[in-house]
Structure 1
Amino acid sequence: MGTKRLTQGIALSTLFVCLSSSALELDKSQLTLALSEQGCAYGRGALAIEAAKAEGLNNLRLFLQGEVSFSLTTDDSLLLDEQFNQETRDLLISGIAQGNVRADFGQPEIQGDDTCVTVRLQPPASELSNGDDGIDWADSPTISLVVIGEGKSDSKSGLSARQAAEQDAFRRAVSQALGVMVKSGYLQQAYSNMSASTNSDDFNLEEVTRQSLSLQSQGMISSWNEISNKQLDNGLFAVTLDITVERQKMEDKVAQLIKSLGQPSVYINAQLPAVKSSFAEALANMGFDLSPYPAQSSIIIDVKETKKVTPSGLQLELIAVVRDRAGNQYGTWRNDPTFMTLPNKAGMLNQLAAVHLAVESNQQAIKFKLHDSAQKMAMRGGPVREIIFSKRAAGQQGQLFTLLSAINGVSDIKMTKKSDKVVVQLRSLNNANDLAQYIEPTLRIHQPKYTSKLNVLNEYQINVL
């Protein structure tokens, strides 16, 4: 499994001597021992919460693999070795890696600029799934998985406990299927043509893909059968389902995501027509999609052109700031104006712009900035998208904000009033068509007696009347 093995007869605690994990502790408050760890992620909203959960689980995985330590008494060391033996550790490590381990998550807490979640992990029960063992991504058009989902009734989403458990099972099934895809090498191979993919240390393609697929998990499931169900404590309901995941539908969703990362829609904002046309031609030759309007783009390039007249002639300085539609900046590119000097005559700026943007090193630098920006946006939750509400469709804005925040995969929600409209900006890895499918039932909960009409204007905007 790629995990570290313990030498027989050596206590688990003796291995953990190198690093320190001050937030990790043993939870002995219940009959079964548990490991407790806090995970934190920058930002607010659903994406930050999921990232904090993933961080906490990953810290626990590192501990179980013997890569971090914390101080234990002799009694606690014996207790830990007894309940978290090598076989148990291997099951948990594998389950965390595949996204199907059952962990308890505390309520999110705000700590400065971070969102933190406490993760509690117990030894696995006998029904812990072994995930993708024996499944090959290329074996057949479908993948059959048996998963356990848990949930409780939620008035915000309008789901009963059973429905919430089923939705949880669907997400777990897609997550496990993604594990099969990753293990096969398909995911990385599909992304291998992205030149910036190996240069961004903070970019995690698997995590971004998991976030993107989580919102639309049911759309990749062709059928499912219930095996068993069980009422748990605290209003939780558990259901075991045999779920069939469509391989082609997953591949299509992944291809759509990779295209959005590799070919983001770009709008060029430049004062000089010559500079704008030169940028447009250069970006088109690099394979990027160009947008005629800022509202229909995921990335905006603001170009500042400075005409420099020197004793030897005319030079052009270009500074390109890469940002999104909400004004968040992701990078800056500058040329070397001294690279080319032309006579100070009419039409020379056009030639200077064309020459600078034809230089291969400049093209590669711009391409990297755009790919890097798309990756950073994905890690923050996706491009900024807009939902434009009429006042009647918006209703009580506080409640609307709460309901939209509860949609899985949506984050960084901002609401503003513009004339007679309420404009909601949010981040989502899913395009407007997919997003609209999940917003529509939310609006029915928001105003049961009012039938909203959704119209997808483009990939980034939805109009609601």
Structure 2
Amino acid sequence: MIKKLGLLALCSLSAQAQVDVLADGTLQTQACAYGRGATAISGAKAQASAELISFIKGNKSLTTQSAQQHLTTSLDNDAASLYEQQRTSMIEGLSAGAVPLNYSTPTLSGNDTCMTVSLNPQELAEPQEQNWQQTTQNISVTVIGQGWKKEGKTALTIAEQDALQRAVSQVVGVWLTQQHTQSSSTSMNIVDGNESTNMQELIGQQLSSHSEGLVKEWQTLETKELQNGGVEVTIMAVVEKAPLIQKASKLLSMIGSPRVQVIAPEPLKTELKVWLNEQGIEVGNAASLVIYAKSTVISRGNNRQLYLTADVRDLAGNIYGQWKNDPSFMSLPNDPYVEKDLMTVHLASESQSKALHNTLNNAFTQVVARGGLVREIMLPSNKLTQPEKLHDVLSTLGGVSDVSIHKQQKYTVASLRFKGNTGELAHALDQALITITAKNLSKITVEDDFTLRYK
């Protein structure tokens, strides 16, 4: 209840917005919320949705005009007709937080954070195809894809694949919007006046590359030729919510809840653990990721400055993010406790602390962006009956990327990235390697999150 009241308070401080209607039927409004960061952005979004709902409820057609709602005089007739057809769907979708809205870059206005938010009825599918109810199992979207012939595939095939990927990516955006998450790894932030939505884009990109398992059915609505032998297709795709939510949740869990070991001097170690716990990230010694930090005291005459570094790395030694403090921020006279005193001051600085947290957040995002954590598969070379096929077999596994093979004494070692957990990878390997290994190959042993071994 406290959180809800806080959000309402933020919205109540926003300036009363008006809704403008553009010639193509797009509804556009500006909303502001008091404060900075993700909470203020969420407040501005909520305010914008409320303004749009209020406008649509009060205007059954776009020929109506009220004192606070400006309508253009050159409105397209088709846009006005589409608005009337989509009106009920838009109200239901906005109320459920399930209509994909277009957001401008957040801007700062005094003590407020402001955004321009727009809704174009033409970007939604036909009313009979749309169902934004929470209980529905599928979501229908109409999207456009483009393609040009390459790598043995026709332009039409590539255009269709592009459209299907766009369909999945669009529904991912709908699902993430419904979550209203406060996690730093999925929120938008304002950095030097620029908006960052990298997580939503990342999840959409990762899932859309596997659209064939998420699109239930689709049909081509229109095809037209482009220059240089290209093809553009418009398709209506039905995306299944259940598998999409399942796969998206797995990707989010990889970012939001990895197990992390912290190796750092105090009080930096405590600072890092507190931040990780606030993000819902488990901390422990048996971890697949490590935050390694160190401090160095530098003499400057009779004074001392402190160099701090922290990086996020996996067990294979890959570094996903690195932070360095600004040592010139503070100098103190030398004494037995100068290192801890300097460290405390640096961590108490909002700018230094924010830079550290941003680095950590981006590092966890990079784990997924690169295709998951690195694992090594140890296979006895004498148990591989068709070693030349090992790379191809592993590359075909869902969620596997960046496969490389090398020899290490009596073992053939496959290094790869995997988007799921180590247990899932072990099960997939047991099924996939049957055809190219000896029958007396042992069951796989998970030595740690990094190493899986056969004997």
TM-score with structure 1 setting the length: 0.49
Per-residue CA deviations over 1:55-92 (Å, capped at 9, x if unaligned) read: xxxxxxxxxxxxxxxxxxxxxxxxxxxxxxxxxxxxxx
C-alpha distance in 2, partners of 1:428/1:191?
27
1:26-65, Cα deviation, whole Å (9 max, x unpaired): xxxxxxxxxxxxxxxxxxxxxxxxxxxxxxxxxxxxxxxx
Shift of 1:201: 6.3
Structure-1 separation of matches of 2:447 and 2:164 = 32
Pairing 1:387–2:377 present = yes
Q: Work out whether residues 318 and 335 of structure 1, in 8 Å CA contact, stay in contact via their aligned partners in 2.
A: yes
Q: Do residues 134 (structure 1) and 126 (structure 2) align?
A: no
Which amino acid in structure 2 is aligned with residue 428 of structure 1? Answer: F
2:406/2:413 contact within 8 Å kept: yes
Give 1:404 deviation, angstroms: 0.8
* Aligned-partner Cα distance in 2 for 1:182–1:382: 21
Residues 1:449 and 2:439 are matched in the alignment: yes
SS of corresponding position for 1:289: coil
Q: 1:286: Cα distance to partner?
A: 4.4
Instruction: Name the aligned partner's letter for residue 453 of structure 1.
Output: K
Residue 182 of structure 1 corresponds to 173
Amino acid at match of 1:186: T
Provide the rounded CA distance (Å) in 1 between the counterparts of 2:126 and 2:209.
17
In structure 2, relative to structure 1, the CA distance for the partners of 1:301 and 1:181 (3 Å cut) is closer
Q: Tell me by how many angstroms 1:347 deviates.
A: 4.0
- Asked whether the equivalents of residues 347 and 353 of structure 2 are also in contact (C-alpha less than 8 Å), the reply is yes
Q: Which residue of 1 aligns with 2:206?
A: 211
> 1:284 aligned to 2:279?
no
Amino acid in the other structure paired with 1:258: L
1:320 aligned onto 2:310 = yes
User: Highest relative contact order (Cα 8 Å, sep 6+), 1 or 2?
Assistant: 1
Counterpart for residue 394 of structure 2: 404
**Secondary structure of the structure 1 residue equivalent to 2:266:** helix
Listed one character per residue, the Cα deviations across residues 2-46 of structure 1 (whole Å, up to 9, x for unaligned) are xx99xxxxxxxxxxxxxxxxxxxxxxxxxxxxxxxxxxxxxxxxx
- 1:318 Cα deviation from its structure 2 partner: 0.9
The one-letter code sitting in structure 1 at the alignment partner of 2:402 is D
Distance across 2 between alignment mates of 1:183 and 1:321: 33
Using the alignment, how far apart are the partners of 2:187 and 2:370 within structure 1?
17
Distance in 2, Cα, partners of 1:344 & 1:423: 51
Out of 355, 360, 365, the residue aligned to residue 345 of structure 2 is: 355
Counterpart position of 2:250: 256
Q: 2:385·2:438 contact (CA, 8 Å) conserved in 1? A: no
Q: Secondary structure at the match of 1:274?
A: coil
Structure 1 equivalent of residue 298 of structure 2? 308
Listed as ranges, the gaps of 5+ residues in structure 1 are 6-129, 146-168, 226-241
Amino acid in structure 1 at the alignment position of 2:250: Q
Residue pairs, 1:25-40, within 5 angstroms: none
Give me the whole-angstrom Cα distance separating, in 2, the residues matched to 1:269 and 1:393: 39
SS in 2 for 1:254: helix
Post-superposition Cα deviations, 1:177-207, rounded to whole Å, max 9, x if no partner, equal: 6643434663674587436655686946355
The change in CA–CA distance for 1:173 and 1:434 in structure 2 (over 3 A counts) is farther
Query: In the TM superposition, what whole-angstrom CA distance separates every residue of 1:294-315 from its partner, at most 9, and x where no partner exists?
Result: x8324x4443422113344433
Q: Give, in whole Å, the separation in 1 of the partners of 2:292 and 2:375.
A: 19
SS at match of 1:388: strand
1:443 CA displacement: 0.7
Q: Are positions 1:426 and 2:416 aligned together?
A: yes
Alignment root-mean-square deviation, CA: 4.7
Q: SS in structure 2 opposite 1:415?
A: strand
> Which residue identity does 1:205 align to in structure 2?
Q
Residue 341 of structure 2 is aligned to residue 346 of structure 1? no
Structure 2: 5+ residue stretches without partners: 1-22, 25-124, 141-159, 218-236
Equivalent residues of 2:168, 2:204 under 8 A apart: no
Residues 370 and 457 of structure 1: is their aligned pair in 2 closer, same or farther, counting only changes over 3 Å? same
The Cα offsets for residues 345-369 of structure 1, whole Å up to 9 and x where unpaired, read as 3344234334323433222212211
Whole-angstrom CA distance in 2 between matches of 1:389 and 1:410: 17
Whichever residue aligns with residue 296 of structure 1, its letter is: A
Deviations 1:76-110 (A, max 9, x none): xxxxxxxxxxxxxxxxxxxxxxxxxxxxxxxxxxx
For this pair of structures, how many residues does the alignment match? 294
> Alpha-carbon deviations, 1:260-299, whole Å to 9, x = none?
22344434445xx436634543543543635555x8324x
Query: Structure 1 residues 440 and 205 mapped into 2: Cα distance closer, same or farther (>3 Å)?
Result: farther
Contact 1:384 1:427 in 2 (8 A): yes
Q: For residue 260 of structure 2, what is the aligned residue in structure 1?
A: 266
Q: Give 1:453 deviation, angstroms.
A: 1.3
Q: Is the 8 A contact 2:276 2:283 kept in 1?
A: no
Taking structure 2 as the reference length, the TM-score comes to: 0.50
Distance 1:360 1:216 in 2: 42
CA distance in 2, matches of 1:184, 1:195: 12
CA distance in 2, matches of 1:429, 1:457: 19
SS at match of 2:252: helix
Q: 1:340 to 1:394 in 2, by over 3 A?
A: farther
Does the 8 Å CA contact 1:282/1:357 hold for their aligned counterparts?
A: no
* Aligned residue number for residue 143 of structure 1: 138
Identity %: 27
